[in-house]
A and B are shown apart, each in its own frame.
Chain A
Amino acid sequence: MSNFFDSRVARWLDDRLDLSPIKNLVEHKKVPIHHHTVWYYMGGVTLFLFLVQVFSGILLLMYYRPGENSAYESMQFITSKVHFGWLIRNIHAWGANIMVLFAFIHMFSVFFTKAFKRPRELTWATGFILLVLAMGFGFSGYLLPWNELAFFATKVGTDIAGVVPIIGEKLKIVLRGGDDVTGATLSRFFGIHVAILPALTTVLLGLHLLFVQRQGMSEPEFFEELPEAKKHYIPFFPDFVLRDALLWLVVLIIILSLAVFFPWELGLKADPLASAPMGIRPEWYFMFMFQSLKFLPPHILFFEGETLGVLFFAVAGIFWMLIPFVKLQNGSINESKFFTYFGLATLAFMLGMTILGYLV
């Protein structure tokens, strides 16, 4: 890599654009080596999966036709007639789930290694918004094949938006493009999925990565406290990048295997005049919220139980996004421990509710 900067092309570019920031990054960025180094790879895997989604999504766009009478049919066409259409569709469907999974793993790993703290508050906040956007991708994309399961899951999901006080009803109508889930909803979700969310994600991802590069890798407390001689690093280029690439390849192989051996069913076409089938469930990453709502009694004081539940998750999400700004009274408790327990409690709640959701 360093000899690239001596090449004539590089010098030509350098004269005009000043490549020194890039050169600096390539030559000086280093990655700490300790027993939590593996978590440094999680953001990169999420990034790779996002790229996989963009590529497979663009390929699907070549044949997909939104619309009540064409969406399902075009998906059938892609999976049964188009060469390798089944493969592209299944990569996109599996990739979506795995990307959300890795975004969660990445988030909790930066939480537990306390990488969210000063000076990385903004990296954390942009990262959280990226996770919300990823969930938005999942929710909007799920409807696009216009099959029965997705149709009812979307009816339920958008109806929940309706319980938000004051703006709920408007919000629901704006989301659905009308009073009910119809072809208008499909058009709207399509626009959200292929234009609005990719644009927002690109901007936030750009910021997120810019912050990460400006700040360098975070070093956990126990590593910082080591004597200088005991701190081991590897260069980011090429050592870490090559390891990244190898891991990306492994992830790609996992997705391909899942796509080949566990293809997604297309199911039955949505029919607004058919009864809901058994087994309507949100996607797994919404399950913890959905299951919690089910446990709430229909009425709490003057509110509907669901209204309180939705408000609770909105507030909890904002709190989680702003958690780097939380300051504890110094002295009384060990801050680092406190965050660890708080994170464990959050994780236990989410996992517990998810498991319950699949058991009952």
Chain B
Amino acid sequence: MTKIGRRDFVNYLLGFGGISAIAAIFYPIGRYLVPPPIREAEPTTLKVGSIDEFPANSSKIVRFGRKPVILIRDSGENIHALTATCTHLDCIVQFSEDRQQIICACHNGVYDLTGKNVSGPPPKPLTEFAVKVIDKEIVISQMKA
């Protein structure tokens, strides 16, 4: 059996203490820098205004919980609601009236009105929301997966 000398023992003790001290300083700092998640009740439905005030070929962006949602009424009667954040790098998309498509000005991403990514860099479609009109009031809600 090798004997650990008194000097080695003290060195180990100091080394161990030093590492613990460093950990005890940096662990809380690291944790501090990660922001705590904000728990907001995710709404399941949202009233977004009267259909009379939402003419054909127009769009608006509303806040659904913490997420921006784009509401589009095409040239006909259809109303679409989709997440407004581009799946590429997080820009906010817009409705192009003459192309009847959704475009992202950041890097020319293009989606159709159901949110499907048709050209440009976006890798995934926009998430669709269910749209209902109840007593002339537009109501959007999360689709069941």
Contacts and interface: CB of A to CB of B under 8 A. Distances in A.
Interface of A: 152, 155-156, 159-160, 170, 173-174, 177-181, 184, 272-280, 294, 298, 304
Contact of A178 (B35, B62, B89, B106): B35
Contacts of A179: 66
B104 A178 contact: no
B53 to A, nearest CB: 17
Contact of A273 (B63, B89, B104, B105): B63
A278 B62 contact: no
A278 B105 CA distance: 5
Contacts of A178: 35, 38
A181 B61 CA distance: 17
A254 to B, nearest CB: 33
Interface string B70-109: 0000000000000010100111111000000000111100
Contact of B107 (A155, A184, A294): A294
A280 B105 contact: yes
B145 interface: no
Contact of A160 (B38, B89, B105): B89
A156 B105 CA distance: 12
7 closest A-B pairs by CB: A275-B94, A276-B91, A159-B90, A159-B89, A156-B89, A155-B90, A273-B61
27 contacts: A152-B91, A152-B92, A155-B89, A155-B90, A155-B91, A156-B89, A156-B106, A159-B90, A173-B35, A174-B33, A174-B35, A177-B35, A178-B38, A179-B66, A273-B68, A274-B92, A276-B91, A276-B92, A276-B104, A276-B105, A277-B105, A279-B105, A280-B105, A280-B106, A294-B107, A294-B121, A298-B123
Contacts, number: 60
A278 B94 CA distance: 11
Contact of B66 (A180, A276, A278): A180
By CB atoms of chain A within 10 A, which of B34, B93, B104, B105 has the most? B105
Contacts of B62: 273
Nearest to B30: A174
By secondary structure, the B interface counts as loop
B34 A156 contact: no
A155 B107 CA distance: 13
Contacts of A273: 61-63, 68, 92
B35 A275 contact: no
A112 to B, nearest CB: 35
A318 B3 CA distance: 44
A180 B67 CA distance: 9
Given A272-B68, A276-B86, A294-B121, 17 more contacts: A155-B90, A159-B89, A173-B35, A174-B35, A177-B35, A179-B66, A273-B63, A273-B92, A274-B61, A276-B92, A276-B93, A276-B104, A276-B106, A278-B105, A279-B105, A280-B106, A304-B123
By CB atoms of chain B within 10 A, which of A156, A170, A184 has the most? A156
Interface string B112-128: 00000000010100000
Contacts of A276: 86, 91-94, 104-106
Nearest to B104: A276
A156 B90 contact: yes
A276 B94 CA distance: 8
A184 B35 contact: yes
Nearest to A280: B106
Interface in B21-67: 33-35, 38, 61-63, 66
A178 B106 CA distance: 22
Contacts of B123: 298, 304
A174 B32 CA distance: 10
Nearest to B122: A298
B144 to A, nearest CB: 23
A122 B81 CA distance: 56
A275 B85 CA distance: 9
A275 B61 contact: yes
Contacts of A181: 90
Contacts of B89: 155-156, 159-160
Contacts of A274: 61, 92
Contacts of A170: 34
A159 B84 CA distance: 16
A21 B115 CA distance: 70
A282 B66 CA distance: 26
Contacts of A272: 68, 92
Contacts of B61: 273-275
B10 to A, nearest CB: 33
Nearest to B60: A273
